[in-house]
Chain A
Amino acid sequence: MRLRIEQRPEPSAQMRIAAPVIATALTFLAGSVLFAALGYDPLITLHAFFVAPLNSINGLSEWLLKASPLILIACGLAVGFRANIWNIGAEGQLIIGAIAACGVGLFYPNPESPLLLPLMFLAGTGAGMVWAAIPAFLRARMNTNEILVTLMLTYIATLLLSFLVHGPWRDPAGFNYPQTALLPPAAMFEPFDYAYRLNPSVFITAVAVVLMWLFADRSFLGYKMSVSGAAPLAARYAGFRESSAVWTGLLAGGAAAGIAGMAEVAGPLGQLSPQISPGYGFAAIIVAFIGRLNAFGIVLGGLLMSLLFLGGETVQMTLGLPAALTRIFQGVLLFFLLAADFFIYYRLRHIPEHA
């Protein structure tokens, strides 16, 4: 008996769906091996990582609260990824969105105005789009690689945030901590229940998911983007302009990330500090892939990724394990997913050996 790898006659639709499930299972397996190697009981640790956080209403609220920005950003990014537009600077677009929204919330003349939240929403969206428009312009008009530009802009956004909270926007009554004043209540989403942090911004994410579904499966623009991703030459032949895919892809990601930043600052954070995102912008890239770039998949992927963040925090508090575990799991998950994807196009065949 020998095993041979051979190309499938057609890509396997089942494998396309099975791959994320297999990758998740393998990640759990790799996690148990890692925990065991560190001298922790794998079952107890896996339970602490992936089950215990969801055992309470507060845990469920936190789960959805963290899943929300991940799903939102992943939806935006998936628009671009479908056309092979690689926006990997969503983290920076999130930061800029949060800065703009918080600026409006802090400095709008009437801190009780009911317009405050909608204005912050617009500011966050617009700022995220502007930050993404830079790489879009440079790619569409100047032929510049968007991967590196979006990343460089992320570092610049982080420095801008640091400058603001250490300098002009620092709360004078904040005991010299590098943070802004708290936003007024009218500038924040009111939680569903003050005992927990989940707030109505999850509805924005729900709308984004529906929009993503409509865009990808029901719109001509979405179709055009998929064609330019899958077959650039065919797209050009059909007259689909590459620059419109570039602009659509990047602006969708920028808007989504900007809104996510706004929802963070107007939700759980309530103010700016040097660290406003635990890496949602980067993790959302993985969410988009795990979710197969489609709306329903992204929801599942976002819930899984949110659990990784939540579990990382939980084992840090309960077992004293470092929070960096979350990033290791993220990387491992993506590794396994990419490897499992191989079997969409290839299969192992047993070749009986005849004497």
Chain B
Amino acid sequence: MDLFIAIFTGTIIAATPLIFASLGELVVEKSGVLNLGLEGMMLMGAAFAFWAVISGLPMPVAIAAGALAGAATSLLFGVLALTFLTNQYAAGLALAIFGSGVSAFLGRGFGSTPIDALKRIHIPLLSDIPVVGPLFFRFDPMVYLAIAIFGLITWFLYRTKGGLILRTIGESPETSHAIGYPVTRIRYMAVLFGGLMAGLAGAYLSVAYTPLWVENMTAGKGWISLALVVFATWRPLRVLIGAWLFGGMTILQLQGQALGIAVPSELLSALPYLATIIVLVIISQNRQMLALHFPASLAKPFRAAS
């Protein structure tokens, strides 16, 4: 039972940064913009949040700093992709390289000592229920925040006028512009929101998940989050499920390494990357489903001809 609880809670925790990053990217892509720079924004979030903690700032401020760092980084992408209409693939790549460089640059002074991780909260009464308590009610607040954000995004996208406008812009910026919606401004907001989420994801990694600074500590989680959006065929609930699947795989692999299974640790470490490929291949078979939810204007620059 203890092992099951460990694997279950570990899965939820490992999925949390992926949930933040891919839900943010989902909103960005729903507006018709493809920001490949998640890895860079996450690293910036991780570096700034860690920096804030070792500078003695309280944890909530540190996490906010990480989120803002992600948003500020995404603004660079926004200016390139939305104002300068550059190729979004190239702009995203530049952001990934830039973020990895700047975070490594900042991080050289961080030392290699772990910090006190974000505390878990025991929700009164509920956390004392046998089995259910340890399974669901003893996480750190960011885990609950991720779920709450999932709810908010789903509600926003499919139950509000704002969400409808955002999705319309993703389908056809020309039509939206003709109706009178400020396409570029709304896309900027989407990109900033995606940056904020990626920053949160990074902050979670450096102050809660592995409370320690390591250069390039995201180790591909930004790219995996991108893959999750495709895997989810641009639907929030599937992002959540996909993130849990990946979280589960990460934890099983770590458990495997801990148990000393007679397989090279590198092979186990390669599993999430292999799984990403396999999952992408499987989902790509279903062209109909992909086409149904794919934002039609994804990665196509748009400039209002005024």
Q: Which residues of A contact B (CB under 8 A)?
A: 86, 88, 138, 142-145, 147-149, 151-153, 155-156, 159-160, 162-163, 166-167, 282, 285-286, 289, 322, 324-332, 334-335, 338-339, 341-342, 345
Which chain A residues lie closer than 8 Å to B285 at the CB level?
A: 142-143
| A286 contacts across to B, CB distance below 8 A | 94, 97
11 extra interchain contacts, Cβ-Cβ under 8 A, other than A88-B93, A160-B266, A163-B267? A138-B277, A145-B284, A147-B89, A148-B223, A148-B277, A149-B277, A155-B270, A327-B98, A327-B100, A330-B101, A331-B95
What are 8 A-B interface contacts by the 8 Å CB criterion?
A145-B284, A324-B101, A324-B102, A325-B105, A327-B104, A335-B76, A335-B91, A338-B91
The docked-state distance in angstroms from the alpha carbon of A144 to that of B283 is: 8
Instruction: From B105, B267, B284, give the contact of A142 (CB < 8 A).
Output: B284
The residue that B86 contacts in the complex, of A167, A330, A339, with Cβ under 8 A, is A339
The answer to whether B93 and A142 have CB atoms under 8 Å apart is no
Q: Shortest CB–CB separation between residue B276 and chain A, in angstroms?
A: 5
What's the tally of chain B residues with a CB closer than 8 Å to chain A? 45
A190-B102 Cα distance, complex, nearest whole Å: 38
B102 contact set on A, CB distance < 8 A: 324, 328, 331
A322 touches B104 (CB 8 A): yes
Contact A334 B284 (CB under 8 A): no
**Interface pair B280/A144, CB less than 8 Å apart:** yes
Name the distance in Å between B264's Cβ and chain A's nearest Cβ.
5
A328 and B89 in contact, given A156-B273, A163-B266 (Cβ under 8 angstroms): no
Min CB distance A87 to B, Å, is: 12
Q: How far is the CA of A341 from the CA of B90 in the complex (A)?
A: 12
Given A325, A334, A345, which contacts B90 in the complex, CB threshold below 8 Å?
A334
Whether B59 is near chain A, meaning CB under 8 Å from some CB there, is no
Q: Does B210 contact A (CB under 8 A)?
A: no
Are B97 and A331 in contact, with the CB atoms below 8 A?
yes
Q: Is B245 an interface residue (CB 8 A)?
A: no
Q: Find residues 73-109 in chain B having any chain A CB closer than 8 Å to their own CB.
A: 76, 79-80, 84-87, 89-91, 93-95, 97-102, 104-105, 108
Q: Given the complex of chains A and B, what is the CA–CA distance between A286 and B108 in angstroms?
A: 25
Kindly identify which residue among A144, A166, A167 contacts B284, using a CB–CB cutoff of 8 Å.
A144
B15 an interface residue at 8 Å Cβ cutoff?
A: no
DSSP majority for the A interface? helix
Q: Which residues of B contact A160 (CB under 8 A)?
A: 266, 270
CB-based closest 7 A-B pairs? A331-B98, A327-B101, A324-B104, A334-B94, A328-B101, A163-B266, A338-B86
Instruction: Assess whether B230 is interfacial by the CB under 8 Å rule.
Output: yes
User: Could you count the A-B residue pairs with CB atoms below 8 Å apart for me: how many are there?
Assistant: 127
Highest count of chain B CB atoms <10 Å: which of A153, A155, A322, A339:
A155
Residues of B within 8 A of A332 (CB): 98
Q: Which B residues are in CB contact (< 8 Å) with A149? A: 277, 280
| Secondary structure type dominating chain B contacts | helix
Interface centre among B36, B227, B266, B267 (most CB of A within 10 A): B266
Instruction: Across the interface, name the chain B residue whose C-beta is closest to A283.
Output: B97
Within 8 A of A (CB), among B216-239: 219-220, 223, 226-227, 230
CB-defined contacts of A143 to chain B, threshold 8 Å: 284-285, 287
Q: Do the beta carbons of B270 and A159 come within 8 Å of each other?
A: yes
Bound CA span A84–B63, Å: 38
Interface contact A153-B277, CB-CB below 8 Å:
yes
Given contacts A335-B76, A342-B84, contact A147 B36 (CB under 8 A): yes
| A156 proximity list for chain B (CB < 8 A) | 270, 273-274
Q: Is B175 engaged at the interface, CB distance under 8 Å to the other chain? A: no
Question: Smallest CB–CB gap between B156 and chain A, Å?
Answer: 27
From B90, B97, B281, contact of A327 by CB (8 A): B97
A329: B residues at CB distance < 8 A: 101
Name which residue of chain B comes closest to A289, CB basis.
Answer: B90
Find out whether the CB atom of A334 lies under 8 angstroms from the CB atom of B97. yes
A328 with B105: CB separation less than 8 A: yes
Q: Is the CB–CB distance between B98 and A151 below 8 Å?
A: no
| Chain B hits for A330, CB < 8 A | 97-98, 101
> Which of B36, B97, B104 has a CB less than 8 Å from the CB of A282?
B97
B269: interface (CB < 8 Å): yes
Indicate the member of A86, A152, A167, A322 with the most B CB atoms within 10 Å.
A152
CB pair A159 B269 closer than 8 Å: yes
Closest to A88 in B: B93
A334 to B90, CA, bound (A): 8
- Expressed in whole angstroms, the minimum distance between the Cβ of A284 and any Cβ of chain B is 12
Known: A138-B281, A167-B264, A328-B102. A342 touches B85 (CB 8 A): yes
Q: Contact partner of A335 among B94, B104, B266, B284, CB < 8 A? A: B94
* Given known contacts A138-B277, A142-B284, A331-B94, A324 and B223 CB-to-CB distance under 8 angstroms: no
CA distance A155 to B269 in the complex (A): 10
The 0/1 profile, CB within 8 Å of A marked 1, for residues 195-228 of chain B is 0000000000000000000010001100100110
Question: Known: A143-B287, A335-B80. Is A155-B273 also a contact (CB below 8 A)?
Answer: yes
